[in-house]
Chains A and B, each alone.
Chain A
Amino acid sequence: MVTGLWAMPDFAAHWMTLRTISSLTLAAWRFLPPLASLSPTNMLDPAGTPARSIFNLTWFVGGLVLGIFVVVGGLLTFIVLRYRGRATDDNIEPTQIYGSNQIELSWTVIPILLVFMLFLTTARVILGTERIPKPAGALDVAVIGHQFWWEYRYPSLGVVTANELHVPVSDPAHPTPTYLNTSSADVTHNFSVPRLAGRIDVIPNRVNTIWIDPQAAGLYLGQCAQYCGTQHAKMLLRVYADSPADFSAWIQHQQAPAADPSTLSPQQLEGKSVFEHNACANCHTVKGTSAQGKFGPDLTHMGSRDTLGSGAFANNRQNLHQWIDNPDSLKPGALMPPMHLNEKDLNAVTEYLTTLR
Chain B
Amino acid sequence: MATTTAVDLTSQTKPKKLLLQVAHDWLTTVDHKKIGIMYIVYALVFLVIAGFMAMLIRIQLAVPNNHFLSPQVFNRLFTMHGTTMVFFVGMPILFGFGNYLIPLMIGARDMAFPRLNAFSFWISAFGGILLYYSYVGGSGLYGAGSAPDVSWWAYAPLTEKVFSPGHSTDYWTFSILLSGIGTTGTAINIVATILSMRCKGMTMTRLPLLPWIYLVTSFLVFVAVSPLTAAQIMITIDRYLGAHFFDTQAGGSAILWFHFFWIFGHPEVYILVMPAFGFMNEIIPVFSRKAIFGYPAMVAATVSIGFISLSVWAHHMFIDGLGAGGNIFFTAATMVISVPTGIKIFNWLATMWGGKIQFKTPMLFATGFLFQFLGAGLTGIVLSSAPMDWQLNNTYFVVAHFHYVLVGAILFALFAAFYYWYPKMTGRMLSERLGKWHFWLFVIGFHLTFDLMHVPGILGMPRRIYTYEAGRGWDSWNMLVSAGGFIQAIATVIFVVNMVWAFYRGRVAGPDPWDAWTLEWATTSPPPDYNFAVPPSISSRRPLWDLKHPEDVDSHYEY
Measuring CB to CB, which residues of chain A are less than 8 angstroms from any residue of chain B?
37-44, 51, 53-54, 57-58, 61-62, 64-65, 68-69, 72-73, 75-76, 79-80, 83-85, 89, 93-100, 103-104, 107-108, 111-112, 115, 118-119, 122-123, 125-127, 129-131, 147, 184, 186-188, 190, 192, 194, 197-201, 203-206, 208-209, 221-234, 332-333
Q: Let me know if B319 and A65 touch, CB within 8 A.
A: no
Q: Could you say which of A39, A76, A125, A190 contacts B371, with CB atoms under 8 Å apart?
A: A76
When distances are taken between beta carbons in the complex, the residues of chain B under 8 Å from A115 are: 335-336, 338-339
The verdict on A225 contacting B395 (CB below 8 Å), with A54-B388, A54-B390, A62-B382 known, is yes
**CB pairs A–B below 8 angstroms (27 shown):** A39-B472, A43-B392, A51-B391, A54-B387, A57-B387, A69-B378, A80-B352, A83-B355, A85-B356, A94-B290, A96-B552, A97-B350, A104-B343, A115-B339, A125-B387, A129-B387, A192-B460, A200-B390, A204-B157, A205-B253, A227-B75, A227-B158, A227-B463, A229-B158, A230-B72, A233-B466, A233-B468
Docked complex Cα distance between A147 and B388 (Å): 27
The reply on B142 being an interface residue by CB < 8 A is no
B15 neighbours in A (Cβ, 8 Å): none
Decide if B382 touches A65 in the complex (CB within 8 Å): yes
Instruction: Identify the stretch in B186-194, B233-241, B321-329, B500-508 within 8 Å (CB) of chain A at 4 or more residues.
Output: B321-329
Provide the residues of chain B in CB contact with A53, threshold 8 Å.
387
Once the chains are docked, how many angstroms separate the CA of A187 from the CA of B458?
26
Interface stretch, picked from B84-92, B117-125, B292-300, is B292-300
Q: A224 and B462 in contact (CB under 8 A), knowing A54-B391, A206-B255, A229-B158?
A: yes
CA distance A84 to B358 in the complex (A): 6
Residues in A neighbouring B72, C-beta threshold 8 A = 230, 332-333
Contacts of A108 in B (CB 8 A): 339, 342-343
* Most chain B CB inside 10 Å of its own CB: which residue of A147, A190, A201, A222: A201
Cα separation A135 to B63 with both chains bound (whole Å): 44
User: For the complex, what is the distance from the CA of A57 to the CA of B464, rounded to whole Å?
Assistant: 27
Q: How far is the CA of A127 from the CA of B328 in the complex (A)?
A: 9
Q: B296 touches which one: A99, A198, A205 (CB < 8 A)?
A: A99
> Are B71 and A187 in contact (CB-based, < 8 A)?
no
Which residues does B use to contact A, with CB under 8 Å? 70-72, 75, 149-151, 155, 157-158, 162-163, 248-249, 251-255, 288-291, 293-297, 319-321, 323-324, 327-328, 331-332, 335-336, 338-339, 342-343, 345-347, 349-350, 352-359, 367, 370-371, 374-375, 378-379, 381-382, 385-395, 458-468, 471-474, 549, 552, 554, 557-559
Contacts of A41 in B (CB 8 A): 459-461, 472
Which residues of A sit under 8 angstroms from B465, Cβ to Cβ? Answer: 223, 232-233
Is there contact, CB below 8 Å, between B374 and A72?
Answer: yes
A129 CA to B278 CA, complexed, in Å: 41
Task: Using known A-B contacts A122-B386, A203-B254, determine if residue A65 contacts B378 with beta carbons closer than 8 Å.
Answer: yes
In the bound complex, CA of A192 to CA of B378 (Å): 24
Expressed in whole angstroms, the Cα–Cα distance for A227 and B291 within the complex equals 48
Tell me whether B387 and A126 are in contact (CB under 8 A): yes
B365 to chain A, nearest CB (A): 13
Assuming A201-B319, A232-B464, is B385 touching A118 (CB within 8 A)? yes
Give the distance in Å from the alpha carbon of A324 to the alpha carbon of B404 in the complex.
Answer: 45
Give the docked Cα–Cα distance between A44 and B460 (Å).
10
Nearest-Cβ distance from residue B258 to partner chain A, whole angstroms: 8
- Are B349 and A75 in contact, with the CB atoms below 8 A? yes
Contact of A94 among B356, B367, B388 (CB under 8 A): B356
Q: Which 6 A-B residue pairings sit nearest by Cβ, starting from the closest?
A: A198-B390, A41-B460, A39-B473, A208-B321, A233-B465, A204-B248
Cβ-defined contact, B374 with A119, below 8 A: no
